[in-house]
């Protein structure tokens, strides 16, 4: 911005800085607290800035989305990421309304409690298996994946996680339960390449 001869204190420069703080995140966050964004802007710009005016401009330019949580805290998101998140949420809601084709949980080698939780979880195309640490979520998921492998073959199943570390942990767990599946990251499964023109 400065290389083009534009003024250092310009509101447009501050709006771009607010957008850049959000767009450069590579940790998978969509929404960032306003305090964090403002702090990063101040560090980046090295001038007195007006974050409120900058964000308002960025919102008008459709570069940033803003939301307020139940406590009144303000959160910012890069517009494309926020829109993508909203699209995914809409798809997830539709998928939970559609019946799934899961293997019968009655034959799984799991405890009665795990079987009941699996029965509750696996009712729609998108299912969520929850529970406290140590309740057997990974084991139950491994048993379900194993049943799917038997039914449709390992080549038709993908297991993924948000990070490479989590994918490695899942792969180790699956191997420990004799499930022949190698996990990958979600972005790896989708073929997303960061740092490109659109990345």
pTM for this predicted structure: 0.68
For residues 75-86, b (16+ Cβ closer than 10 Å) or e, as one string?
bbbbbebbeeee
Q: What's the pLDDT tens digit per position in 70-126?
A: 999 999 999 999 999 999 999 999 998 888 888 888 888 888 988 888 888 888 888
Beta bridge partners of 32: 76
Q: What is the pLDDT of residue 193?
A: 64
Q: What's the pLDDT tens digit per position in 151-164?
A: 888 898 999 988 88
Pair type for strands 184-185 and 160-161: parallel
Angle between helix axes 51-60 and 11-23 (nearest 10 degrees) is 80
Backbone torsions φ then ψ of 145, nearest 5 degrees: -65, -40
Look at phi and psi of residue 197 and say left if phi exceeds 0, alpha if psi is from -120 to 50, else beta. Answer: alpha
Neighbours of 68 (CB within 10 A): 10
Q: What's the pLDDT tens digit per position in 60-71?
A: 999 999 999 999
Task: Name the percent of the chain in helix, strand, coil, to the closest 5.
Answer: 55, 10, 35
Whether residue 59 is predicted with pLDDT greater than 90 in this model: the reply is yes
Average pLDDT of the residues of the chain: 88
Q: What is the pLDDT of residue 196?
A: 47
Annotate 35-51 with DSSP letters as a single string: HHHHHHHHHHH-S---H
pLDDT band, very low/low/confident/very high, at 1 (cuts 50, 70, 90): confident
Helix (H) or strand (E) segment spanning residue 9: none
The SS3 assignment for 25 reads coil
Q: Which residues contact 117 (CB under 8 A, 6 or more apart)?
A: 129, 130, 131, 135, 140
Closest CA to 159 of 185, 127, 121, 129: 185
């Amino acid at each position: 911005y400065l290389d083009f001869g534009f003024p250092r204190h310009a509101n447009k420069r501050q709006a771009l800085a607010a957008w850049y703080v959000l767009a450069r995140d590579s940790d998978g966050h969509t929404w960032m607290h306003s305090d964090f964004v403002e702090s990063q802007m101040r560090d980046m710009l090295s001038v007195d800035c007006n974050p409120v005016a900058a964000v308002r401009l960025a919102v008008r330019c459709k570069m940033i989305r803003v939301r307020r949580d139940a406590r009144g805290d303000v959160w910012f998101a890069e517009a494309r990421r926020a829109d993508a998140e909203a699209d995914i949420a809409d798809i997830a809601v539709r998928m939970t309304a559609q019946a799934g084709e899961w293997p019968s949980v009655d034959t799984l080698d799991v405890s009665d409690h795990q079987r009941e939780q699996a029965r509750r979880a696996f009712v729609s195309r998108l299912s969520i298996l929850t529970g406290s640490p140590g309740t057997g979520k990974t084991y139950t998921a491994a048993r379900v994946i194993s049943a799917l492998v038997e039914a449709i073959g390992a080549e038709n199943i993908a297991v993924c996680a948000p990070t490479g570390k989590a994918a490695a942990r899942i792969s180790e767990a699956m191997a420990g339960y004799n499930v022949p599946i190698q996990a990958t990251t979600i972005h790896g499964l989708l073929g997303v390449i960061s740092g490109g023109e659109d990345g």
